Amino acid sequence: MESIWSQLCPIRERASLQQDINCEIAVIGAGMAGILIAYELQKSGHQVVVLEANRIAGGQTRNTTAKITSQHGMIYHKLMETLGETTARQYALANEAAIQEYRTLIASEGIDCDLEERSAYVYGTDEKQLRAEAEAAAGLGLPAAFVSELSLPVPTAGAVRFGHQAQFHPLKFLSALSDGLAIFEHTPVRTVKDNRLATDHGTVQAEHIIFACHYPFVNFPGMYFARMHQERSYVLALKHAMQVDGMFVGAETGGYSFRNYGDLLLLGGMNHRTGENAAGGRYARLRQKANAWFPHCEEVACWSAQDCMPLDSVPYIGQYASRQPNWYVATGFQKWGMTSSMVSAMLLRDQIDGKENPYASAFDPRRFDTAALPSLANEGGHAAKGLFKRFFQIPAEQAARIPAGHGGVVQQDGKKLGVYKDEQGTLYPVDIRCPHLGCQLEWNPDEKSWDCPCHGSRFDKFGHLISGPAQQSLCEIPQDTSK
């Protein structure tokens, strides 16, 4: 399951770190956010090193649908009600500025990345709600208007249209932009203490450290594990489907997204909280929709994405925590990683340069908003549920009942194990306590992975780490549970 971006654009591989080094700024993560941040800081005269655990764009960036837009679903009316007009306007104008910054950068660097101007739409079935969103967005200075006529295969009462937005090929963009940067691949950062980063084969001493690794893995200070959760979504790339005039996302829960890349339609949907997909069938249901809407379509790729969802719908971009004034973070992009990555680059460049940025306060990670308290309690409830299951839930399946090619939870000698059974019947047991904070992992049948319902870490069927905040693989259990 590889995205069309990965299929069409391999990126030049870089060496891993093999010695101790000193630098002015260390950026953890070489996805869209990390590369843009490093680029802007280097352009501003700083000496920057990027440390990447896997490959450039090897995490969430390769799985994006690559919309460069300030149209982030039904967000602006909500932001005005919960955070106030000032913060809502800062958020809106920062993302509009990010779109223009992409255009300027791509033109100035001569990057061929299939940039195309498109309108962005959020469609739905509640006309009153859509009109209120359009009015709120337009009032904040965004190019927004309500429209009633759409050419989509789903019933709608209209949409909010944002003009002058864009789409592109994210890996073509990053391949070009990363060429002039000092990047070490296959170099996971294991620990960060003050200004020292420890990796497997070398340490890095840095004056400033930036966490641009999707989900910050240092729990204290910051406590980001209590301030956001992760969600998964699924995408099909289809031939012989339809050409849509723009980029479309659904307003309601369970809605679908549509955009084209060349002659392909990218159909997305089936969102769920990470670790809460026991029944599976997400790809199957998405394929059913595709075949119903486009009977002659042909699937050429399928993939999934994972997104960090902040408490108040605004990313955390800025100082990591008051106790670490030289640490910075960019996370919680809530499915809008392209513009949020550019906003991160602009804000962190100005912050490290000592310049005032008119949008910074809206994204400040140190903010405290009583409007977010119900969400914080909800995040704690999900985490507590995962921890509770670690000790007390009676497993529903035993090893003998696990179908071939799937996994499940079993209990052996009073200990809960996660067991994957391959097609030949061989069992692969692992300790399914998440190494991050100890929550019980759940089997994801769609992607054959062990997923954490608390904070979103993921592991493959054999227990190898896929994505954090966990920093290590699961412990394999050296025993034969088939007896």
pLDDT value at position 47? 98
Q: What is the pLDDT of residue 369?
A: 41
Please state the separation of Cα 121 from the chain's center in Å: 21
Of 38-47, 389-398, 425-434, minimum mean pLDDT range: 389-398
Residues 25-36 have pLDDT tens digits of 999 999 999 999
- pLDDT confidence of residue 77: 97
Question: Mean pLDDT: which of 200-204, 230-234, 422-426 is highest?
Answer: 200-204
Contact call for residues 66 and 169 (beta carbons, < 8 A): yes
Res. 481: pLDDT tops 50: no
pLDDT at 373: 44
**CATH 2.102.10.10 domain position(s) in the chain:** 370-483
Residue 411 has pLDDT above 60, yes or no: yes
pLDDT, residue 121, reads: 98
8 A C-beta contact, residue 70 and residue 86: no
Give pLDDT, residue 442: 85
In this prediction, residue 172 carries a pLDDT of 96
**CATH architecture, domain 370-483:** 3-layer Sandwich (2.102)
| Mean pLDDT across 274-287 | 85
Least confident of 40-49, 422-431, 438-447: 422-431
**CATH superfamily of this structure's domain 115-165+227-310:** D-Amino Acid Oxidase, subunit A, domain 2 (3.30.9.10)
In this model, does residue 14 exceed pLDDT 90? yes
Choice among 233-247, 346-360, 373-387 with the minimum mean pLDDT: 373-387
Reported as a pLDDT band with limits 50, 70 and 90, residue 394 is very low
Percent of the chain exceeding pLDDT 90 equals: 64
End-to-end CA distance of the chain, in Å?
34
Token pair, residue 394, equals 């009676």
How far, in Å, CA of 227 to CA of 311, rounded? Answer: 6
Give the pLDDT mean for 327-348.
97
Q: How confident is the model at residue 404 (pLDDT cuts 50, 70, 90)?
A: confident
Q: Which residues contact 67 (CB under 8 A, 6 or more apart)?
A: 120, 165, 166, 167, 247, 259, 336, 338
The superfamily CATH assigns to domain 4-64+171-225+313-368 is: FAD/NAD(P)-binding domain (3.50.50.60)
Query: Is residue 112 pLDDT above 90, yes or no?
Result: yes
Which helix H or strand E contains 409, and what residues bound it? strand 406-412
Region(s) of the chain under CATH 3.50.50.60 = 4-64+171-225+313-368
Whole-angstrom Cα distance, residue 61 to residue 177? 14
Residue 467 has pLDDT above 70, yes or no: yes
Contacts of 245 (CB under 8 A, 6+ apart): 119, 151
User: Residue 43 is encoded by which pair of tokens?
Assistant: 């352009």
199-208, 279-288, 372-381 — which is least confidently predicted?
372-381
pLDDT of 58 above 60:
yes
CA gap 238, 480 in Å, rounded = 43
**Helix boundaries (H) for 269-428:** 282-293, 337-353, 360-363, 373-391
Residue limits of CATH 3.30.9.10 in the chain: 115-165+227-310
Q: How far is Cα 421 from Cα 425, in angstroms, rounded to an integer?
A: 5
CB atoms within 10 A of CB 305: 21
| The pLDDT of residue 391 | 34
pTM above 0.85, yes or no: no
User: To the nearest whole number, what is the mean pLDDT of the chain?
Assistant: 89
Of 388 and 113, which is predicted with more confidence?
113
Res. 478 pLDDT band, cuts 50 70 90: low
Does 221 sit behind a cis peptide bond, omega within 30 degrees of 0 on the bond before it?
Answer: yes
Residue 375 has pLDDT above 60, yes or no: no
Answer whether residue 377 shows pLDDT above 60: no
Q: Is pLDDT of 395 > 60?
A: no
pLDDT for 398: 66
For residue 160, is pLDDT > 70? yes
How confident is the model over 344-367, as a mean pLDDT? 96
pLDDT beyond 70 at 368? no
**Which segment of 326-330, 367-371, 372-376 scores lowest on mean pLDDT?**
372-376
